[in-house]
Amino acid sequence: MPLSISSSKFKSSLQAARSTILQVGSGGESNDSNPPADVTEEDVIVDNPSTTSMPSPVLSTSPTLPSYPQLSNEAKAKKQQELFDSIIDDKLSTIPLRLIDTASGKLCTAGELYALFKDSPGYKEVETNISMVSEREMKTIVDPFFEYAMFSHRWGAADEEPTYQHIKDVPSVYDMGAPPEILKLQQFCKIARENQFRWAWSDTCCIDKTNNVELQESIISMFAWYRLSSVTIVYLSDVMDEESFKHSVWFTRGWTLQELIAPRLIWFYKKDWTPYIDTKQNHKENPQVIKVLSEVTSVDCEVFNDFVPGLRDVGPDEVKKRMSWLASRRTTKMEDMAYCMIGIFGVNMPVMYGEKKNAFVRLQKEIMNLTDDLSLFDWIGEPSELHSYFASHPRCFAKSATEHRKDSSKLPDYRLYKTPKSLTAGLTASIIRNVKTLLLDPPHGHFIANGKMNMHLFVHQVTTLTPVGTTDPPTLDVHGLINYHVKAEGLTEMTFTTHGILPPIIKGEDSPSYRLIRMWEVSLMPPEDAMEVEDEDEERNEENEESGKPSNWLVRSKSLLSDSLDAVTDVVSQNPVVMFLSRLQEPFIAQLLVRRKSGGPYERVGTTERLIAKPSSGSVNFRGIKTLVVR
């Protein structure tokens, strides 16, 4: 028995839509001209878009009917026809460029789809009563006709999959020979047809991959096509039961990531083309399936049904999190490791096969233009040869078992921030002035020019860099790695591991120079209410600074430390300067830069683990922001 789309929600939506149209066609009055609150355009379906005769949607008193009081009946009809045509054009612009007619098995272009729609009973009903049909009723006719099913599967051998060239002139895919990959396409189309979907799309044969313009449009649009599909049918050729489901190779492919996340409705099918779960519901809404999907893919459960593409209003670490989804996947072509993420990140970049690893660097550059999320640079491993501050591969974003990031979202509220006595004791008028200047005019982001990135950084000069556990001269171990011990100004000592031998620090101008840096991030800024300082306090502070006395707020802070509070190690301060400096005293994710010759650009050194730097204890030494050029 074929899997049906008729869940309770779909049934109620369909009944409501039909009821409205039937009332309209019979001249009956509806208590509410608007659709039910739980009915959306995505919910409305018909039994068979190719054969169902829709009742006349005439409604002379519809409140949604456009009003043209100054026009003649002929002019009104023309306006209505233009509206109807624009609705059809809008729909055609959102669906794939080609679709297979599941009734006939013929591959159709958008123009052929339009011609078939014009010949449908629904179109003719609207055309006959064009002056009396509302925009909502037009969409009720248009949307169901163009509903389509998308196919997701693991490709077989490239020369065995049916391509556009194979089927473009074939009267019906159902009449083609029976190699396994042809049978797979035929079975997909049959299931779509049995579930009342007139149209079906498969990436193997619905894209002319010899046409570069069409290929680029398809790759850029593919996430949206899956998102707007009525259903995505996933065929798992290596799955027979629940255990094999967890280990399906489908979960290891790059392109199937968006094919899992983008669709709103998914059905999984096993090797024998039976449903993975014996239910008519959306498999992405089944709690047991969602749990397994999350375990296998490392994607949070809520992402499967609530994911929003793009990077607008995303939280911290969102870029790294999405990259980590791809870290263990692979694609046949190197460039596709970048192209398969275009829709997930909502970027628009040209598709240029042949650029190899550079595609992933271009993706990261486009992401940098869309967000200030610094997790884009929170990676480990080898840097790109094209630009050292970008990762060479998505696997660089894989999360380690010990990974821990202290995100701004997890920090205590600034207004309840505890400030060490050593911090307030070490503040000087000069430090306060420099911090205020920075907070009043903070950096405005990083940018790339002439192949180099200009970055706003807190810089700590490395004073010593010593190989650990190796010979002299140093050599790599059997794994191609080497450990280094590093000391930097204002930071505690640390050890890191890298993939190559670093040039030693020597005396003289020709010595390489190293820096441990912290990137500037907007989350370091205190909240706006903390930045509001009373004019009276400002005037007093200026007078105190001129006379060599501590600032007014600092006097008040220190006065809290009376003799009776000697045991108290912290004071609470609402001053933005103290808040900012307190953040800088926390451990942070650092990067190591090297400048191989005087006057040259810096390069990032790849490490096998995150560098977690800890400011050294003692008096405050605010170094300010520096702009470095990094290649």
What per-residue confidence (pLDDT) applies to 313?
87
Query: SS in 3 state form for 532-578?
Result: CCCHHHHHHHHHHHHHCCCCHHHHHHHHCCCHHHCCCCEEECCCHHH
pLDDT at residue 445 in the model: 80
Query: How many domains does one find in the chain?
Result: 3
Residues 353 and 436 in one domain: no
Q: What are phi and psi of 151, to 5 degrees?
A: -110, 135
Residue 462 and residue 380 share a domain: no
Please give the DSSP secondary-structure letter assigned to residue 284.
G
Asked if the structure places residue 561 within a domain, the reply is yes
- pLDDT tens, 302-350? 999 999 999 998 888 999 999 999 999 999 999 999 999 999 999 999 9
In-domain check, residue 80: yes
Domain boundary among 145, 172, 202: 145
Residue 416, Cβ density class (10 Å: 0-12 exposed, 13-18 middle, ≥19 buried): exposed
Residues 531 and 619 in one domain: yes
Last residue of a domain, one of 405, 439, 473: 405
Q: What is the pLDDT of residues 173-230, one digit of tens each?
A: 999 987 889 999 999 999 999 999 999 999 999 999 999 999 999 999 999 999 999 9
Question: Could you tell me if residue 485 is inside a domain?
Answer: yes
Is 186 inside a domain boundary? no
Among 153-157, 293-297, 374-378, name the one with the lowest average pLDDT.
153-157
- Among 394-403, 450-459, 501-510, the minimum mean pLDDT is found in 394-403
On whether both 352 and 460 belong to a single domain, the answer is no
| Residues 384 and 445 reside in one and the same domain | no
- Per-residue pLDDT for 406 more than 60? no
Buried b (16+ CB within 10 A) or exposed e, 153-179: bbeeeeeebbbbebbeeeebbbebeee
Residues 347 and 469 in one domain: no
Residue 250 counted as domain residue: no
- Domain finish residue from 381, 405, 429: 405
Indicate whether 204 belongs to any domain: no
What average pLDDT is seen over the chain?
Answer: 83
The answer to whether residues 351 and 424 belong to one domain is no
Answer yes or no: are the C-beta atoms of 148 and 96 closer than 8 Å: yes
Percent of the chain with pLDDT over 70: 77
Read off the pLDDT of residues 542-565 as tens digits, 9 standing for 90 and up: 555 566 555 554 444 444 433 333
The domain of 29 spans 8-145
- Predicted confidence at residue 323, as pLDDT, reads 98
- With tokens 């002379």, the residue in question is 60
Q: What is the pLDDT of residue 25?
A: 37
pLDDT at site 548: 59
Residue 500 counted as domain residue: yes
Listed range (215-229, 461-475, 521-535, 593-607) with the worst mean pLDDT: 521-535
Verify that 450 and 331 share a domain, yes or no: no
- Domain assignment present for residue 489? The answer is yes
**What is the average pLDDT across 266-285?**
93
Regarding whether 588 and 510 lie in a shared domain, the answer is yes
> Other CB atoms closer than 10 Å to residue 236's CB: what's the count?
20
Q: DSSP letters of 287-335? A: HHHHHHHHHHH---TTHHHH---S-TT--TTHHHHHHHHHTT-B-SSTT
The pLDDT of residue 422 is: 63
Arithmetic mean of pLDDT, 18-23: 37
Domain identity same for 449 and 562: yes
**Domain identity same for 385 and 525:** no
Nearest to 449 by CA among 187, 627, 229: 627
Which amino acid does the sequence have at 203? D
Please say if the pLDDT value at position 41 is more than 90: no
H or E stretch covering 107: strand 107-109
- On the question of pLDDT at 568 being above 90, the answer is no
pLDDT given for residue 527 in this prediction: 82
Check whether residue 345 and residue 396 sit in a common domain: yes
Maximum Cα–Cα distance across the chain = 95
**How far, in Å, CA of 551 to CA of 87, rounded?**
66
